[in-house]
Chains A and B, each alone.
Chain A
């Protein structure tokens, strides 16, 4: 393939009054693609080391059981088995991982392997290392574990009773609880013309299930005491914060390396238990060890997205359809170990009123443990569940009061002219135009011919429904929100790093702190650097992947939470700006002029307007790196610039739980039309549109690809994907055989649209995006609600996942769900 560069069409303003073509905003070819389409990517499982051993975890078949004895002797007798690790050893060799929550959650003891008790099916009880994958699996079956089964707790509301307690050290299943109260909810209720009550809504358990399972290849250097972890942790900065104290070593003893990662979606943020076990094994056995998670293990025992029950939702509404806010009791089921999940108790507050001008919100939030798989951030993390609530509120209220779901949204949306808009809890929505995005989405699905489509569907015996999902994709976290959870935590703000250097042969080399999993960081980075240095993306070598020993990372480095376009590219821009300044300084020193007289164009530094007085990048690189005699003594440059981007954040007011929790708010407005077979509950999405507004788009094709992917995941979660347990705590959907993710034939026709509302707060006017806020789930639920019944008569769609059988049940017994809703009109 010959590498091509796209001729830029849109001018980029580089200095006031001066324009030139730029690469930002262009669909330049992705740098990552050439290796990936040839099978030449390097994923962790592709790596081999001499004499490495393969790890297999022995996992609990019980959801809740005391571990009375673990006997590894028979496994060790098998030829080719290198060694084992048990929970008892882990308890001696490591300290428990730190807990984010205040008590009771703070007292939970979480180790790399189960110690004393197994708390979910698949909980790793021991590990075996052997010469081959197959042998390791054979040997694991020879490990004899004596269990004493205990009563199983699977229901979050039942967990509140503490009759069965998972973590005796905490003495309660409650991890954290708190009340958030903004505005004056009681006054809003008193002021309302209607008060709508929804007894119960439930956001189901699912996960994005990245196609590449988790894993690592760990090497231990006995001489230096340092571990190299070639793995697919997507947030290694935080992984190291968890692992180093547990392993009782300094943080620099943990080197995280990754090149290509096969999808993450948040599911690879909490790999510290398994990675710690592998570190212990590599040290104990004095050989590299390799762990590749099996698909069934990923579904059973890695991470799920969080499951949330909403109780006693109360919504005060004025006669004209203006909603004044809401109150709710939320119970978050984090499974057996909270790990990252206590932050989910707060993170929803980034989008407290959703897209709406609601000023009075009261949320009583509790998180509990149950005997299910632990959870972790999953695309749309915590905000998705909350935004599903806000969208369900809007559609249920509209349905009960006979309001038009489009008009009621437009009436309650934050208005374009109100940005930047401060929410009742102090978050600053930076920019947007929700009503316009909605109009575009409706246009795309042919909303004007809605009645015609309805009649056509009805003539074929189908029920027709249309639904809207309005969401915010909040990005660039202020980790100060963790203080609302636990004031003792030492986290606030955010940061990301990039290093840009001009090397000896004039090569521009960029090193990122991020950990890409398909988001095209190499490409978008090259676009930004090329525009700043006056060259092309082909001239920019962006190192693939992440390596903590590149020293281009900081505490929050990683790829998560819709932030690269702000934090990652903010760091890139900062470093490239500084390098550009140094290149001008160097050229000025050579030419004996002022740096202000130098411009960077066509891969040269030259005196403005004088193409004869030019130094190609190669000359600049060579002069400073290898031919520097005679340069002015006070020329203090390195041509190797590391920049830390730090977004402007303050710590929140903990008393009021008030402050700006994220820097940007991208918008996703989706519209969905579907047809339901009233006899079977089978339904088909017939039209679908997704409209995105993420500010200035660096690479529109990549943005659109993220929209497609987020939509597909949301549609899977809305229609099929659900982690279901039997009453003994066995997961009934433990792999792709039972857990149906969308295939090519499942995807509806999808149209996309966009607007660009530049963010006033970010280095490039861009907003983080990619998670999508689960808009597809909200839109499908709304469309089903619309299809299944007329005003005040049909069933209430009260769960986030609605497979055909649930739709059929709702059609069969509408009264069952209808009783969940009541309206008090004054």
Chain B
């Protein structure tokens, strides 16, 4: 069997189509950040625990450090950069600001993607459902209090 170390892939990210040749071992998060310069998604760990790199792949919430770029070949990706349209924040983004749901802002992009995924599947989550939905996202600044409040407010 031929060992493939590089591959040309295509991807739609936030509605834009991209075609790039990548190392087979390139992580999706590094592909987004380093190759496409979409630096909104962040990296906070080596082990898939922190959720700062969370994006939507074909509508499914994924930690993009846990996926190779080539595994997302042909996929439709949504990242934090694609949330606001024409400079207009989504209700969630606005709620994060209104409720002080962010401090340093490093976890925020991943948190917003997890919350976006939640609200698409459950428009009116309760506190427990919200906490469960963001349990894969670590925040070291807020104690989650205002993040939960922001998501709840956005749902209302």
Contacts and interface: CB of A to CB of B under 8 A. Distances in A.
Interface of A: 1, 27, 29-30, 32-43, 45-46, 48, 132-134, 208-213, 260-263, 265, 292, 294-296, 517-520, 701-702, 704-706, 708-709, 711-713, 735-737, 741-745, 747, 750
Interface string B17-29: 0000001011000
5 contacts: A38-B83, A38-B89, A735-B46, A743-B135, A744-B135
Contacts, number: 186
Nearest to B52: A211
Contacts of B79: 39
A750 B136 CA distance: 21
A294 B84 CA distance: 31
Given A39-B79, A263-B104, A708 B87 contact: no
A48 B36 CA distance: 12
Contacts of A263: 103-104, 106, 140-141
Contacts of B141: 263, 518, 705, 709
A37 B96 contact: yes
Contacts of A45: 33, 39, 42-43
Contact of B47 (A208, A213, A736, A741): A736
A41 B25 contact: no
A40 B40 CA distance: 6
A33 B102 contact: yes
B89 A37 contact: yes
Contact of B148 (A38, A134, A518, A744): A744
Contacts of A46: 33, 39
A30 B97 contact: yes
Contacts of A706: 103
Contacts of A42: 39
A514 to B, nearest CB: 14
Nearest to A36: B105
Chain B CB within 10 Å, residue with most, of A39, A132, A711: A39
A43 B42 contact: yes
Closest CB pairs A-B (n = 5): A39-B40, A518-B104, A262-B106, A36-B105, A712-B143
Given A134-B25, A708-B146, A209 B140 contact: yes
Interface string B116-156: 00000000000000111011111111111111100000000
Q: Which residue, B38, B112, B135, B145, has most C-beta atoms of chain A within 10 A? A: B145
Contacts of B100: 27, 30, 701-702, 704-705
Contacts of B136: 743
A201 B103 CA distance: 34
A51 B118 CA distance: 41
A48 B37 contact: yes
Given A134-B25, A701-B100, A747 B47 contact: no
B140 A211 contact: yes
Which residue of B38, B96, B141 has the most chain A CB atoms within 10 A of its CB atom? Answer: B141
A747 B145 contact: yes
Nearest to A737: B47
B58 interface: no
B103 A705 contact: yes
A134 B6 CA distance: 14
Contacts of A209: 140
Nearest to A40: B40
Contacts of A32: 105
Contacts of A295: 44-47, 50
Interface of B: 23, 25-26, 30, 33-34, 37-47, 49-50, 52, 79-81, 83-84, 87-89, 93-94, 96-98, 100, 102-109, 112, 130-132, 134-148
The SS class assigned to the B binding surface is loop
Given A1-B97, A262-B106, A745-B135, 15 more contacts: A30-B100, A36-B102, A36-B108, A39-B39, A39-B41, A42-B39, A211-B42, A212-B44, A212-B104, A518-B141, A708-B146, A735-B45, A735-B46, A736-B45, A741-B138
A210 B140 contact: yes
A519 B103 contact: yes
Contacts of A292: 43
Contacts of B106: 41, 43, 210-212, 260, 262-263, 518
B143 A709 contact: yes
B58 to A, nearest CB: 20
Contact of B143 (A37, A262, A735, A747): A747
Contacts of A29: 97-98
A1 B87 contact: yes
A41 B145 contact: no
A705 B146 contact: yes
A45 B41 CA distance: 11
A39 B23 contact: no
A169 B150 CA distance: 55
Contacts of B42: 43, 45, 211-212, 262
B144 A712 contact: yes
Interface centre among B23, B26, B106 (most CB of A within 10 A): B106
Most buried by B among A133, A701, A708: A708
Nearest to B92: A37
Contact of A709 (B26, B80, B94, B103): B103
Given A519-B103, A744-B147, A37 B108 contact: yes
B140 A34 contact: no
Contacts of A701: 100
A134 B46 contact: no
A211 B107 contact: yes
A736 B138 contact: yes
Nearest to A211: B44
Nearest to B96: A37
Nearest to B37: A48
B44 A213 contact: yes
B102 A37 contact: yes
A44 to B, nearest CB: 11
A32 B102 CA distance: 10
B68 to A, nearest CB: 12
Contacts of A294: 46
B145 A750 contact: yes
Q: Which of A260, A262, A750 is packed against the most chain B CB atoms within 10 Å?
A: A262
A708 B145 contact: yes
Nearest to A261: B104
Contacts of A519: 103
Contacts of A27: 100
Given A133-B30, A295-B47, A745-B131, A33 B96 contact: yes
Nearest to B47: A737
B40 A742 contact: no
Contacts of A743: 135-136, 138, 144
Contacts of B147: 744
B94 to A, nearest CB: 7
A33 B47 CA distance: 28
Contact of B80 (A30, A38, A744, A745): A38
A366 to B, nearest CB: 32
Given A1-B87, A33-B97, A736-B49, A262 B134 contact: no
Nearest to B141: A709
A2 B71 CA distance: 39
Nearest to B128: A745
Contacts of B140: 208-211, 263, 265, 709, 712-713, 741
A383 B80 CA distance: 39
B113 to A, nearest CB: 10
A518 B87 CA distance: 23
Contacts of A43: 39, 42, 106
B138 A517 contact: no
A32 B100 CA distance: 11
A807 B83 CA distance: 46
Most chain A Cβ neighbours within 10 Å, of B37, B41, B44, B109: B44
Contacts of A735: 45-47, 49
Nearest to B133: A744
A34 B84 CA distance: 10
B80 A750 contact: no
B46 A1 contact: no
Contacts of B41: 39
